[in-house]
Chain A
Amino acid sequence: MFGPIFSKPLSSKNNKTGSWRMGKRPKFLQTNCIACRMCILICPEGCIEGEDKNTYHCDYDYCKGCGNCVEICPRQDIVMIEDK
């Protein structure tokens, strides 16, 4: 390759990595959430959003099911469930 190649900003969104999940996905119970935002901070995919308490959720188009959101939640308000 002799010269620069360019890509469109944020175009990786075309790549739906949710298909990578290995049988489990996080479920956001939205009952004891204190809106601490820790799940947003730790998500490697950056696919969690939410504002007020009990509004947090993730985008299953991209979630690879790693489960670090479950680990970091101080209120055990996210659990891993069978992915159907």
Chain B
Amino acid sequence: MREDILFASGHTACAGCGQAIAARLVIESAGPNTIIANNTGCLEVFSTKYPESSWGVPWIHSLFENAAAVASGIESALQYLGKKNIQVIAQAGDGGTADIGLQALSGMWERGHNILSICYDNEAYMNTGIQRSSLTPLDSETTTTPVGEKSFGNPTLKKPVAEIALAHGIPYVATASVGFPQDLQKKIKKALSIRGPKYIQIHVPCPLGWRHEPNLTYRIARLAVETGLYPLIEYENGVLSSARKISVVAVEEYLKLQARFKHLLNNEEEIKKIQEIANNNIKRYSLS
């Protein structure tokens, strides 16, 4: 067997889980000299079914909202002990990052801890049954944004968490996707080579919550990027340093593979709104 394994098989994620792909790529890129603090969520649950663990590095879970605070304590303790070569990662889902954990995260960024924060963005609270989060996209059906006569699903846009991170003046902010695994690995390595707080938000399809076939995780993740709905960008010291060029695919191609959007298929008006979001991204980051 391979000897570089830091995230073992036997975890209990659903078949085709995007978050499982990303979590393994993150820790393999970070390497063994890493300590992880993990918020509550699918990843925490499926990687540590007691008494088992998938992790090959020290890994700690405390609460849904506080991985950033726990990681801050770990990093401070390492500094006090003079241990300079140990990296710290604080990781969470989109709910743990953009909603309940945002306060602890903001404190960690503001105090300038040398920590990489990762958001595994599957665009809802998946672990508790697909409730909407502030990173759920427009018109997505979740159990708390049901579709009906007067509702097209989630009425709000994704919270601009990358921009909130940037507003803290942190040195590295990026988005990534399991549709582009090598780009993801490169960004993790680059982030960890920079001192100070770093934030990477990774788009991770969820076959159960997005209601798509498990084998489509990769294709759907790519389409999110290629449509312009999930731009892959990088900011270094507050300046946009890269934006991945795309082939510009119509948003329907992305939406039609996922039953969370199936109510939109003959609704030109709503699809236009989503195309508009993609168009704005394409313009703003010069994606095409």
Q: Which residues of A are interface residues toward B (Cβ below 8 A)?
A: 5, 7-17, 20, 22, 38, 41-47, 49, 59, 61-62, 64-68, 70-72, 80
Contact = CB atoms under 8 A, between A and B. Distances in A.
Interface of B: 1-2, 5, 7-18, 20-21, 24-25, 47-57, 178, 181-182, 185, 207, 214-219
B182 A41 contact: yes
Contact of B56 (A5, A9, A42, A67): A9
The majority secondary structure among interface residues of chain A is: loop
Nearest to B58: A9
Contacts of A47: 9
Given A41-B182, A66-B215, A11 B51 contact: yes
Nearest to A9: B56
B52 A11 contact: yes
12 contacts: A8-B52, A11-B53, A12-B9, A12-B52, A12-B53, A17-B10, A22-B15, A41-B181, A44-B20, A49-B1, A59-B9, A68-B16
Contact of A17 (B7, B12, B24, B215): B12
A10 B185 CA distance: 21
Contacts of A68: 16, 21, 214-215, 217-218
The 4 A-B pairs of least Cβ separation, nearest first, read A67-B215, A12-B10, A66-B16, A62-B9
Contacts of B7: 46
B10 A16 contact: yes
A50 B196 CA distance: 37
B15 A64 contact: yes
A67 B15 CA distance: 9
B15 A15 contact: no
Given A11-B52, A12-B9, A45-B9, 13 more contacts: A12-B10, A15-B12, A41-B21, A44-B18, A44-B20, A44-B24, A45-B20, A46-B8, A49-B1, A66-B15, A66-B16, A67-B16, A67-B215
A10 B50 contact: no
Contact of A7 (B21, B52, B215): B52
A46 B24 contact: yes
A66 B10 contact: no
Nearest to B1: A49
Contacts of B216: 71
Contact of A12 (B8, B18, B25): B8
Given A7-B50, A7-B51, A44 B15 contact: yes
Most buried by A among B8, B16, B181, B182: B8
B12 A38 contact: no
A10 B21 contact: no
A45 B46 CA distance: 11
A7 B51 CA distance: 6
A67 B48 contact: no
